[in-house]
Amino acid sequence: MADSVFLSGDRIDLRPIEEDDLGFLQREINDPRIWRAIGRPRPVNGPQERAFFENVVCDDDTVNLLIVADSSPVGTIAFNAIDWETRQAEIGYWVAPEHHGQGYGTDAAARLVAYGFDQLGLHKITARVFEFNEASRRLLESVGFTREGVHRDDVFVDGAFQDTYWYGLLEDEWRSESESE
């Protein structure tokens, strides 16, 4: 159901991704401003988007949510490959370019991080971002993530190798930051 809110934020809601959302997802993921930032240099067609939905979104080891503002989808956010044994997950997100700079990604990330620590019992949340994606680095740092390292020349994007910056946030760091606010 397209109106089933899972987590509410200050400016956004997070809800499960449904089949009806596949058109939005395919259209946005093929925008160069999105695929560049997430390192997906090949186009995605309808069957590929459906396979992503069936194999990834519907997988029990992930949490994939649609970011919704004013009842309209604006992006996605997810915990990818949750490792229940080590209590870790990697967060990933994107916001449609026409909605950049409005705080939707930050609000969504803060909500999902809180959910990860409070409800899933995670110990650590990681993230990775390409060196050229300064906005995403600022988003992670604003939520409390610390840059932990760099994988040099890690991906080939726009005709050049790019470094990948790795970030991490531990539960106790997040709790002490949350309590001081």
Dump pLDDT digits (tens) for 23-36: 998 899 888 888 88
Mean per-residue pLDDT, 65-77:
95
Q: Does residue 38 have a pLDDT over 60?
A: yes
Q: CA-CA distance, 56 to 143, in Å (whole number)?
A: 25
pLDDT recorded at residue 1: 45
On whether residue 1 sits in a domain, the answer given is: no
Identify the pLDDT of residue 161.
93
Is residue 24 one of the residues assigned to a domain? Answer: yes
Q: pLDDT tens digits for 72-106?
A: 999 999 998 799 999 999 999 999 999 999 999 99
Residue 140 domain flag: yes
Whether 5 is covered by a domain: the verdict is no
CA distance 76 to 10: 16
2 within some domain: no
**Is residue 42 a part of any domain in this protein?**
yes
In-domain check, residue 73: yes
In a domain, 105, yes or no: yes
**Cβ-proximal residues to 180 (8 Å cutoff; 6+ apart), any chain:** none
Q: Which domain holds residue 36?
A: 12-179
| Cα dist from 150 to 44, 80, 143, 155, whole Å | 28, 20, 19, 12
Residue 181 binned pLDDT confidence (cut-offs 50, 70, 90): low
Average pLDDT, the chain: 91
Domain count, the chain: 1
Look up the CATH number of the domain holding residue 85: 3.40.630.30
pLDDT digits (tens, 9 = 90+) for 118-164: 999 999 999 999 999 999 999 999 999 999 999 999 988 878 899 99
